[in-house]
Amino acid sequence: MESNSIKVLVTGSNGQLGSEIKVVSDQFPMFDLIYTDIKELDITNFNEINLFLNKFKPNFLINCAAYTAVDKAEKEIEISTMINSVAPGLIAKACKENGCKLIHVSTDYVFDGESKTPYVEESLVNPTSQYGLSKLKGEEAVLREGGAMIIRTSWLYSSFGVNFVKTILNNAKIKPELKVVSDQIGCPTYARDLAMVILSIISKGEEHFIPEIFHYSNNGTCSWYNFASEIVEFAGLNCIVTPIESKDYPSIVKRPKYSVFSKEKICNTYKIEIPHWKTSLGNCIEILKLDGLI
C-alpha cells in the first residue's frame, strides 16, 4: 500500500456488516483495510487493543463487533454486557490514546419503540431489553471517551450471516405458510448500503469526521409482515405469509413497536442518497440467487 493510504481497522469483520465492508472495499482503493475478529483481536482486553493500534497505527477504526442474539441476551447477561457495553469503551479509550478515529455501530433497541414519529438522534433513550440496555451502555462508554462517531441502525440484514431475510427464505422453502408479526414497524437496513456509507464518510478525510450520533437505515417503513411478504415475493416462493400480532408471537423480549429513524442528519451532513428498502432487498435477493441460496 502507498504511504498516503488511509489505514482502516475493522473489528467484528466476520459479521454481516464487516463482511459487506470486505465486499465493497474494492471501490475504495485509497484504503488499507485491516480485518479482525475474535481470533485476531480480543476487544475485551484493553492492553491487547492498545498494542494492536500502536503496532498498525490505523487512522480509523470501525467497530462492527456486537453480541446480537436479542433473546439469548436476556440470559447471557455477562457476555452481552462485556461485548456490547465494556468493549466499546475500551476500544474508544485505546483509539483516543492512539489518535485513531472511531466509528461505533449501535441499534434502534436503545429506544422503547413507543414513539409515534421517527426517532432523531436526540430522542430520549429507554431500552426495554438486556440487548438494548447493553448497546446503550456501550454508546455511553464511547461518548465518555469523546471523539467518536456512533451510527445507529435498524433491522440489519445481508447475504452473509444469520438474519431475518435468510430465515424467512429458509422457512418459506419448506413451509406452506409463515405467520409474521404485523404490529411492529421499522426500517430494514441492507448491510451493504451501510458499509458503503461508512466507507464513504471515511473517504472524505479526517477533517470531515464529526464525532456525533447519526441514524442510518434504508428509506421507507414497513412491518415485519410487509418485509417478509416482499422477501417471499422477490424470491418467487409459493409460501403464504399471514399477519399476526405481537401478543401471538412468543418472545421473552419486548421488542420495539416502532423503530423508524429520521435520516435527515446523516443525509444533510454527508450529502448521501439512501435507497428505498424494497430496492435494496431486491439487490440482496439477486445476490442470494447468484450464490445459489434460493
CATH value at residue 201:
3.40.50.720
Share of the chain above pLDDT 70, in %: 99
User: Residue 3 has what pLDDT?
Assistant: 52
User: Residue 249 has what pLDDT?
Assistant: 86
Across the chain, mean pLDDT equals 96
For the segment 195-208, the average pLDDT, to the nearest whole number, is 97
For the segment 88-114, the average pLDDT, to the nearest whole number, is 98
Q: Does the pLDDT at position 1 exceed 70?
A: no
For the segment 60-73, the average pLDDT, to the nearest whole number, is 97
For the segment 56-60, the average pLDDT, to the nearest whole number, is 98
Map grid coordinates 431475510 to a residue: 165
User: Residue 294 has what pLDDT?
Assistant: 82
Asked whether residue 180 is assigned to any structural domain, the reply reads: yes
Asked whether residue 95 is assigned to any structural domain, the reply reads: yes
DSSP for 252-285, written as a single string: SS---SEEPBP-HHHHHHHT----BHHHHHHHHH
Q: Are 142 and 65 in contact, with CB atoms under 8 Å apart?
A: no
For the segment 128-150, the average pLDDT, to the nearest whole number, is 97
For the segment 182-190, the average pLDDT, to the nearest whole number, is 97
For the segment 71-76, the average pLDDT, to the nearest whole number, is 96
Number of neighbouring beta carbons within 10 Å of residue 212: 13
For the segment 129-158, the average pLDDT, to the nearest whole number, is 98
Question: Judging by beta carbons within 10 Å of its beta carbon (0-12, 13-18, 19+), is residue 54 exposed, middle or buried?
Answer: exposed
Binning pLDDT at 50, 70 and 90, where does residue 293 land? Answer: confident
Let me know if 131 is a catalytic residue. yes
Q: Does the pLDDT at position 12 exceed 70?
A: yes
For the chain, the domain total comes to 1
Return the C-alpha cell found at 198.
461508512
Q: Does the pLDDT at position 18 exceed 60?
A: yes
Asked whether residue 1 is assigned to any structural domain, the reply reads: no
Asked whether residue 148 is assigned to any structural domain, the reply reads: yes
Q: Does the pLDDT at position 84 exceed 60?
A: yes
Question: What b/e string do you get for 168-192 counting C-beta neighbours within 10 Å, with b at 16 or more?
Answer: bbebbeeeeebebbbbbbbbbbbbb
Say which of 131, 190, 216, 225 is annotated catalytic: 131
Residue span of the structural domain in which 165 resides:
6-290
